[in-house]
Amino acid sequence: MSETIDIAALGGVKEGEKKRPRSKDRRLEIACQSVEDRLKNYDEVALGYSPAEAVAEAMRCLECPKPRCVVACPVHIDIPTFIGHVSRGHFVGAAEDIRKYNNLPAVCGRVCPQENLCEAACIINDTNPKNPIAIGRLERFSADWQFGHSERRADSVAKAPATGYKVAVIGSGPAGLSCSADLAKMGHTVHLFEALHKAGGVLMYGIPEFRLPKAIVQKEVEYVQALGVQLECNAVVGRTMPVQEVLDEFDALFVASGAGYPNMMGIPGENLNGVYSANEFLTRVNLMKAWKSDVGTPIRKPRRVVVVGAGFTAFDVVRISLRLGAEEARIVYRRSREEMPGRGEEIEHALEEGAIFTLLTNPVRYIGDDNGFVKAVEVQKMELGEPDSSGRRRPVPVRDSNYIIECDTVVVSIGQTPNVLIPSNLPGLATRWGSVIKVNRETYMSTVPKVFAGGDAITGAATVILATRAGREAARSIDGYVRDPNRGWYPPAV
C-alpha cells in the first residue's frame, strides 16, 4: 500500500544530501475548519499537515545533537530522528521511530500539551521566539500517515518468544493500553479488563470527537489487540469478579483504572436538574454519542451554559455546548487567564468559537425553578492573594461582590479523583485520600504483592502522556518481577 514520495517535489532532503535547516522560517500553522463550519459538526477542528507542509515544517528542525526537546518529553521520544525522517520523506519510518517510545502517537500528537513540554524546550525559541518546531503536529502527521499508508501489521512487530507469564491489566485508557502493548511485545499473556462497553477509557468518554476522533482511538486499540492482548469489555474488576480471583489467576496485576470519579463543590443546589458533573456531560456526548440524533442516550440541549473550571475538560465542555447549539457558553473560573491549566490551542479555539470567560469568579450556590431545574447561579468575585501549594496565586473572595448569572445548564468541571472500587475491594492496598493508590515510583509496586498501579490511579487526573509513560515504565517493572525467581517486592514507603 506504500506509495512513492517525491521528496524533491516536497522540498525535503534528497538521498545522500545534507540538510540545510530553515530555522528562521515561521512555524507552519495547521489548517483548521472555519469557525462557522465546525460549530455545525463534530468533526476534528485541526485538519493536519499535508505532506508538503509536514516536510516544510520538518525542514526547520536543526536536529540538534543535544536535543532539549527529548529531555522535556515525558517518554523521551527521539524527536530529531523522527523529524529527520519526515524531512527525508520517510513518513512511515518516522512513525515507527516514535512508536519505539510511545504506543499512542496518533493520540498524543493531538492531545499532548506540547507547548509546555517538548515545544517549550525547542532551541529555536532562543533565536526565533514563539516559533518552536511544531513537534506535536509532526507526530500526528507521521502517525496518521502510517495508519493510511502502511499495513502496520502487528505480526510484523518484533515480539519476544512467549514467556508463559500471565498479566491482568485493569482499565484500557492510555496507561492500560500502553502497558498491555509493551507486555505483549515482551512475550507475556495479557488480559485487559475494561468496565465500559468500548475500550479506550478517557480517550473515548472524556475527550470529544472534534479533538480526538474515536476512529483513531479504536485503531490504536485494534493494534494492541493484534499484538495478542485479550480485551474483555463489560468487566468491572471488584464487581464482575473479585479482585482476589484475578490475583489468584495471574502472575501480576496492573491497575490503570484512571481518575473517573467526579469532584463536586458541595454548594447548595448542586443536585438540581441541569447541573452536571463534567464526566456525565462528556460521557453522554462522547461515549454515548448523544450529539447524534439517532442514538438512545439523550442530552438536554443547553441554551445558556455555565462551565465551572478552566482545565482541559472545561474547554471540551464549553465547546461541546456551542456545538449543541448553546446561545451562551461561559467559563466561570476562580483564578485569572494566566493560571488556566487548559491547553493553549484549546483556549484559543474556544475563544474563536464564542466562549465567554468570566474570570476571578466562583459559584456559591445554584438556584432552581419550581420543577427542580437550575435557572441561575449565584457567583462571587475573587482576587488573587499569595501563591498556594501549586505555586499559583490563591484566589480570595471579594466581600459583597455576589451577583447572579442566569443559565439552564451548569457543568461542574473542577477535576476528578480515582474510583474507590479497587482500593475498597483489596485489603492492604495503601492509598492517599482513600482512592489514589500509593506505589513505589521506581517500580510501580503497591503495598500488595503482585499489584502494580499507574496512570491517573496513582496521580489523580493528569495527562495522557504521563499515563502512557507510567504504562510503559510499569510494563518494564512487571517484566522484571515475573521473571525474577524470587519475585522480589519493592513497595512504597508507607
Q: Which stretch binds other proteins (CB under 8 A): 12-20, 160-168, 291-299, 451-459?
A: 291-299
- Out of 113, 132, 260, 342, the residue judged to bind other proteins by CB under 8 A: 260
Pairing of strands 436-437, 431-432: antiparallel
- Could you identify the residue written with the cell 437550575? 374
Q: Which stretch binds other proteins (CB under 8 A): 21-29, 48-56, 163-171, 415-423?
A: 415-423
CA 253 to chain centre: 23
* CA atoms within 13 A of residue 198's CA, in its CB half-sphere: 18
Contact between 297 and other proteins by CB under 8 A: the answer reads: yes
Cα–Cα distance for residue pair 281/226, rounded to 1 Å = 32
Q: At what angle do helices 91-99 and 135-149 cross, to 10 degrees?
A: 110
DSSP H or E run through 385: strand 374-387
Contact between 173 and other proteins by CB under 8 A: the answer reads: no
Contact between 371 and other proteins by CB under 8 A: the answer reads: yes
Contacts for 294 with CB less than 8 Å, ≥ 6 apart = none
Contact between 274 and other proteins by CB under 8 A: the answer reads: yes
Q: What is the per-residue DSSP string for 186-226?
A: TT-EEEEE-SSSSS-THHHHTS-TTTS-HHHHHHHHHHHHH
- Out of 264, 396, 398, 404, the residue judged to bind other proteins by CB under 8 A: 264
Cα–Cα distance for residue pair 29/134, rounded to 1 Å = 9
Contact between 262 and other proteins by CB under 8 A: the answer reads: yes
DSSP assignment letter at 286:
I
Q: Which stretch binds other proteins (CB under 8 A): 116-124, 178-186, 237-245, 376-384?
A: 237-245
Whether the CB-CB separation of 358 and 333 falls below 8 Å is answered with yes
- Could you identify the residue written with the cell 499559583? 392
Contact between 325 and other proteins by CB under 8 A: the answer reads: no
Tell me the closest approach of the beta carbon of residue 369 to other proteins, in angstroms.
Answer: 10
- Out of 146, 362, 413, 419, the residue judged to bind other proteins by CB under 8 A: 419
- Out of 218, 273, 336, 440, the residue judged to bind other proteins by CB under 8 A: 273
Q: Which stretch binds other proteins (CB under 8 A): 15-23, 62-70, 181-189, 414-422?
A: 414-422
- Out of 137, 191, 284, 323, the residue judged to bind other proteins by CB under 8 A: 284
Q: Which stretch binds other proteins (CB under 8 A): 215-223, 280-288, 303-311, 324-332?
A: 280-288
Site for other proteins in 76-135 (CB under 8 A): none
* Of residues 14 and 197, the one with the C-beta less far from other proteins: 197
Tell me the closest approach of the beta carbon of residue 249 to other proteins, in angstroms.
Answer: 13
- Out of 22, 300, 394, 476, the residue judged to bind other proteins by CB under 8 A: 300
* Of residues 65 and 296, the one with the C-beta less far from other proteins: 296
- Out of 94, 181, 288, 474, the residue judged to bind other proteins by CB under 8 A: 288
Tell me the closest approach of the beta carbon of residue 261 to other proteins, in angstroms.
Answer: 6
Contact between 296 and other proteins by CB under 8 A: the answer reads: yes
Residue 155, SS3 per DSSP? helix
Tell me the closest approach of the beta carbon of residue 274 to other proteins, in angstroms.
Answer: 7
Q: Which stretch binds other proteins (CB under 8 A): 45-53, 141-149, 207-215, 417-425?
A: 417-425
Distances (CA, A) of 191 to 249, 426, 447: 11, 19, 22
Contacts for 198 with CB less than 8 Å, ≥ 6 apart = 204, 218, 233, 287
Contact between 261 and other proteins by CB under 8 A: the answer reads: yes
Tell me the closest approach of the beta carbon of residue 374 to other proteins, in angstroms.
Answer: 11
Residue 377, SS3 per DSSP? strand
* Of residues 87 and 283, the one with the C-beta less far from other proteins: 283
Tell me the closest approach of the beta carbon of residue 375 to other proteins, in angstroms.
Answer: 13
* Of residues 272 and 367, the one with the C-beta less far from other proteins: 272
Mark out the alpha helices in 265-308 (DSSP H runs): 278-282
Contact between 283 and other proteins by CB under 8 A: the answer reads: yes
Cα–Cα distance for residue pair 312/309, rounded to 1 Å = 9
Residue 151, SS3 per DSSP? coil
* Of residues 246 and 458, the one with the C-beta less far from other proteins: 246
DSSP H or E run through 352: helix 344-352
Q: At what angle do helices 312-323 and 344-352 cross, to 10 degrees?
A: 20
- Could you identify the residue written with the cell 473572595? 397
- Out of 25, 63, 78, 270, the residue judged to bind other proteins by CB under 8 A: 270
Whether the CB-CB separation of 133 and 122 falls below 8 Å is answered with yes
Strand order in the sheet with 356-358: 275-277, 409-412, 304-308, 328-332, 356-358
- Out of 16, 266, 391, 427, the residue judged to bind other proteins by CB under 8 A: 266
Tell me the closest approach of the beta carbon of residue 298 to other proteins, in angstroms.
Answer: 4
Residues of the shown chain interacting with other proteins in the complex, contacts defined by CB under 8 A? 195-197, 205, 233-236, 239-242, 260-262, 264, 266, 270-274, 276-277, 279-280, 283-284, 288-289, 292, 294-300, 371-373, 419-421
